[in-house]
Structure 1
Amino acid sequence: MAATTIEELHPDVLSCALRRLDGRSLAAASCATAGLRALAADPETWRALCLAEWPSLAGRARLLSVVPPRRFFADAFPFPCQDAGELGGGGGGDGLLPTELVSAVDVYYRGAPLLSRVVETASSSSWFLGSPFRVEAFECKKPVADAVLSPAELELSWVVVDPVRGRAVNLSSRRAVAVDRHWYTGETLVRFAVVLGGCKFETTVTCSEGTGHISEVSLAVQDADGAAVSGERSLRLLAAAMEEQRKGGDRERDEAKRRYDEFVKSKKGRMESKARREALIDLCCSAASAMAVLSFVAAVVLR
């Protein structure tokens, strides 16, 4: 009895089976045989995979038109290289900055989609380029869920797309790198972050006190001194990150947390060093002032 190979199945059956795989498994299957490679290259298969991974794309189908689904997955699923745009000089191959950014934001709770938004940001104006980079994805006083949530179990994906170049990058650590409480309002702040080019791209999910309902989701960028980064420099970092190689896997999730902790530790050290320098300068100024006063008094007394 002759052995039956998987390629003897009807192509429609194979396509249906391939659409049930995740991205890694689909890519691995495409390396098995020429027939599976052809089926795995079907744009509709990758489109279905992207829509399952990022529910926010369902309402903005044009994103998967300007960025082919397979390219979108390859750009948005792995983690960006932390050294991208180390000097902030990246501008994408021709040195031009993105004139528009589209953010596909998805919040998950215990693996299930909880909140999805697509935000379009015009980034060519002088006001945007000179102002601190910040994107508000969601802001509402009404709860987005009926049940009480545990903020620490939230997960996040924030994919930024440059529709002109057709490239994307995911700016989230997927799992929270820190969970804090606002000192004044009592709200819980769940932080997701990646470090690119010495700057921290941090998404903050604000949850109301008691219920844990999400009231705000926003993205901001800080440098190593804790200062807000301008829109122009942020765009250069994003353009460079989109062109760099990516890394995937659960190990990278832990690596994102480690990079965040190192960034926070470095920022704290720099702030403490700055405070010591300022205290030393104040002490020297006070001593100089005291010497000047004493010199004046001595001159008056000895006259």
Structure 2
Amino acid sequence: MVTTIEDLHADVLARALRRLDGRSLAAASCATAGLRALAADPETWRALCLAEWPSLAGQPRLFAAIPPRRLFADTYPFPSADCGDLGGGDLPGELVSTVDVYCRGAPLLSRVVETPASSSWFLGSPFRVEAVERKKPAPEAVPSPAELELSWVVVDPVRGRAVNVSSRRAVAMDRHWYTGETLVRFAVVLGGCKFEATVTCSEGSQLVNEVSAVSLAVEDADGAAVSGEGTLRLLAAAMKGPRRGGEREPEEAKRMYEEFVKRKKGRKERKARREALVDLCCSAASAVVVLTFLAAVALR
């Protein structure tokens, strides 16, 4: 007599499936009709989402707005760098950011930030969201900033779509030139613009690094801040656009970040050369005018 995995009780199989990661669960659902039915259970995907993003705990509104399986499918793979059409259409009127910081794979801190996105002030101002502010008490201790990981999921609760705008692993780490704080940067490039989430770590009283700020900002290829309206268009297109799979996603995100920084530096240098050339031409023209005036006065 041949025994198959489906001979196990459904409750046992369901518990086993809840221990899988998203890719393994999706693969198991393709094996048999019975496993497909069990893998389609919303509670299984809900448990998977809660394990991946602790900030979703106590957020029934988000699970009501977007089914857990759709949330995972939207959020876990990286968004495509080519957002596609950024043209017309209704823009999100509200954004919900679920932010999770991990250290050595263990959750360090979680935040949920709701951002009204319909006011003229928001649409016209540079986009920036603060998940952890310096004035907030009780910062979290960090053994090593280099071991931090970050997930920053942006959800449109009205349309039920989401996208992760963090590279998960750091793409760069440096120190603030004035305060000496460590800045751990996580970034993805969407539609030619850079979404950069920064975790700021400062030295506490016992010389232990502490997370003092976590923020998200967007800048274009020239290094200028992108407005709220421009960011909404990028996010709306990214939510509707394709996703990229593969185990090397963080490495790819770092490569695209480095290419973006290199292109920005090149554009800045070309702009500086053009401005220097214009200044030289203006100086030469001014010299010609002065010399012409002096010659005219001398020949009188």
TM range (shorter): over 0.9
Find the aligned partners of 2:144 and 2:3 in 1 and give their Cα distance. Answer: 50
Q: Which moved more, 1:210-219 or 1:188-197?
A: 210-219
Q: Which moved more, 1:2-11 or 1:170-179?
A: 2-11
Find the aligned partners of 1:302 and 1:102 in 2 and give their Cα distance. Answer: 76
Give runs of aligned pairs for residues 207-286 of structure 1, distance below 5 A: 207-209=201-203, 210-286=207-283
Paired residue for 1:56? Answer: 55
1:140, distance to aligned residue in structure 2 (A): 3.1
Find the aligned partners of 1:182 and 1:212 in 2 and give their Cα distance. Answer: 14
1:143, distance to aligned residue in structure 2 (A): 4.8
CA offsets 1:180-235 (integer angstroms, 9 cap, x no match): 11000000110000000000000011110452210000000000000001111110
Q: Does 1:138 align with 2:132?
A: yes
Paired residue for 1:149? Answer: 143
SS in 2 for 1:83: coil
Is the 8 Å Cα contact of residues 99 and 110 (structure 2) preserved in structure 1? yes
Q: Does 1:190 align with 2:184?
A: yes
Find the aligned partners of 2:246 and 2:102 in 1 and give their Cα distance. Answer: 18
Find the aligned partners of 1:66 and 1:169 in 2 and give their Cα distance. Answer: 14
CA offsets 1:91-113 (integer angstroms, 9 cap, x no match): 6xxx1000000000000000000
Find the aligned partners of 2:140 and 2:158 in 1 and give their Cα distance. Answer: 36
Is the 8 Å Cα contact of residues 130 and 215 (structure 2) preserved in structure 1? yes
Runs of 5+ unmatched residues, structure 1: none
SS in 2 for 1:279: helix
1:302, distance to aligned residue in structure 2 (A): 1.1
RMSD value over aligned CA atoms?
1.2
1:145, distance to aligned residue in structure 2 (A): 3.1
Give runs of aligned pairs for residues 69-80 of structure 1, distance below 5 A: 69-80=68-79
Q: Does 1:200 align with 2:194?
A: yes
Paired residue for 2:86? Answer: 88
Find the aligned partners of 1:199 and 1:145 in 2 and give their Cα distance. Answer: 31
Paired residue for 2:290? Answer: 293
SS in 1 for 2:110: strand
Find the aligned partners of 2:241 and 2:72 in 1 and give their Cα distance. Answer: 15
Counterpart of 1:51 in structure 2: which amino acid? L
Normalising by the residue count of structure 2, what TM-score does the alignment of the two structures yield?
0.96
Find the aligned partners of 1:20 and 1:235 in 2 and give their Cα distance. Answer: 35
Counterpart of 1:243 in structure 2: which amino acid? K
Is the 8 Å Cα contact of residues 109 and 140 (structure 2) preserved in structure 1? no
Find the aligned partners of 1:214 and 1:208 in 2 and give their Cα distance. Answer: 7
Counterpart of 1:285 in structure 2: which amino acid? C
| Cα distance change, pair 144–250 in 1 and its aligned pair in 2 (3 A) | farther
Find the aligned partners of 2:125 and 2:216 in 1 and give their Cα distance. Answer: 14
Paired residue for 1:21? Answer: 20
CA offsets 1:228-256 (integer angstroms, 9 cap, x no match): 01111110110000011111232121110
1:153, distance to aligned residue in structure 2 (A): 0.6
SS in 2 for 1:208: strand
Find the aligned partners of 2:172 and 2:94 in 1 and give their Cα distance. Answer: 30
Paired residue for 1:124? Answer: 118
Counterpart of 1:22 in structure 2: which amino acid? D
Is the 8 Å Cα contact of residues 105 and 157 (structure 1) preserved in structure 2? yes
CA offsets 1:79-129 (integer angstroms, 9 cap, x no match): 0000014x632x6xxx10000000000000000000100000000111111
CA offsets 1:231-283 (integer angstroms, 9 cap, x no match): 11110110000011111232121110110000000000000000000011011
Normalising by the residue count of structure 1, what TM-score does the alignment of the two structures yield?
0.95
SS in 2 for 1:14: helix
1:75, distance to aligned residue in structure 2 (A): 0.3
Out of 167, 174, 180, the residue aligned to residue 174 of structure 2 is 180
1:297, distance to aligned residue in structure 2 (A): 1.1
